[in-house]
C-alpha cells in the first residue's frame, strides 16, 4: 500500500512555498511500515496536509493517490471505507464528543470496524494514565487527558497509515513517550506507516525519513 503526494500545494499558498518546502510541490511516496517525520513550523500548512491526506479537504493543486486511486475521484462511500479501513488520524483539535464519556468516545470508533476487543480500551487507558477517566464526560477532562483519549481512539481500527497532527502538544515528555510507544506497537501490529507532523524534530520518534514542510 502506498500514499503518494503528486505536486501538492494548497490553493492559498503561492509558488514561493515550492522552494522553501521539502513536501509542497514534490513527488513523494510513503510506504506501509515507514515512520515519516514532518517538521512543520507554524503557518507552513501542517494541519492542511493532514486534512488533505485524510480526505477531509481538497483545496489543493496536484493529486493525492492511495493505492493507485486518486482521492479526487473518491465518492463519499469511498472516503468512508478509506477512513474506516486504511487511514486513522489524531487531529490537532481532537474532535471528541464533549457530552459523551471517554469510554463512549473510544467505543464509538471501535464499533465502526473493530481491530481490538472492547476490553482493550481499559488496558490502553490504564497504560496512558487515564483509566480512572473512562466514565467521565470528555469535556471535563484536561486537554492532555483528551489528547490521550484521541490517541487511543485512533488505535481502535485497522489502518495502513496513522496520521498525527501535533498529538503531544499538552503532554509532558514522559506521557508523550508512553503514548508514542503504544502507537509504535500498534503500527507494528498492522505493518502500518506513521506520518507524524509537529513543530520540531522529536528524537524519541524513530523516523525512517524526515521532511521539512
CATH topology of domain 2-212: Rossmann fold (3.40.50)
Biggest distance spanned by C-alpha atoms of the chain: 50
Give the residue from 33, 1, 53 showing the smallest Cα distance to 213. Answer: 53
Q: Does the model's pTM come out above 0.85?
A: yes
Residue 17: pLDDT above 80? no
Residues recorded for the chain? 213
The C-alpha cell that represents 9 in the structure block: 500545494
Residue 154: pLDDT above 90? yes
* pLDDT tens for each residue of 167-195: 999 999 999 999 999 999 999 999 999 99
- On the 0-12 / 13-18 / 19+ scale of CB atoms within 10 A, 27 is exposed
Domain boundaries, the chain: 2-212
Q: Which helix (H) or strand (E) holds 2?
A: strand 2-10
Going through 32-86 in order, the beta strands assigned E by DSSP cover 35-39, 60-66, 69-70
Amino acid at each position: 500500500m502506498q500514499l503518494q503526494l503528486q505536486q501538492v500545494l494548497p490553493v492559498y499558498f503561492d509558488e514561493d512555498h515550492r522552494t522553501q518546502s521539502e513536501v509542497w510541490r514534490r513527488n513523494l511516496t510513503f510506504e506501509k511500515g515507514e515512520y515519516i517525520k514532518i517538521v512543520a513550523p507554524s503557518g507552513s500548512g501542517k494541519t492542511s496536509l493532514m486534512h488533505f491526506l485524510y480526505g477531509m479537504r481538497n483545496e489543493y493543486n496536484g493529486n493525492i493517490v492511495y493505492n493507485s486511486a486518486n482521492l479526487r475521484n473518491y465518492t463519499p462511500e469511498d472516503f468512508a471505507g478509506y477512513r474506516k479501513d486504511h487511514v486513522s488520524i489524531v487531529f490537532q483539535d481532537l474532535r471528541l464528543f464533549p457530552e459523551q464519556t471517554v469510554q463512549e468516545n473510544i467505543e464509538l470508533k471501535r464499533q465502526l470496524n473493530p481491530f481490538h476487543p472492547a476490553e482493550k480500551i481499559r488496558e490502553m487507558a490504564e497504560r496512558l494514565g487515564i483509566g480512572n477517566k473512562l466514565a467521565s464526560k470528555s469535556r471535563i477532562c484536561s486537554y492532555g487527558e483528551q489528547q490521550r483519549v484521541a490517541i487511543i481512539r485512533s488505535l481502535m481500527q485497522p489502518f495502513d497509515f496513522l496520521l498525527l497532527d501535533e498529538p503531544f502538544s499538552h503532554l509532558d515528555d514522559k506521557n508523550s513517550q508512553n503514548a508514542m510507544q503504544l502507537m509504535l506497537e500498534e503500527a507494528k501490529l498492522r505493518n502500518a506507516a506513521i506520518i507524524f507532523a509537529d513543530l520540531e524534530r522529536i528524537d524519541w520518534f524513530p523516523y525512517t525519513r524526515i521532511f521539512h514542510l
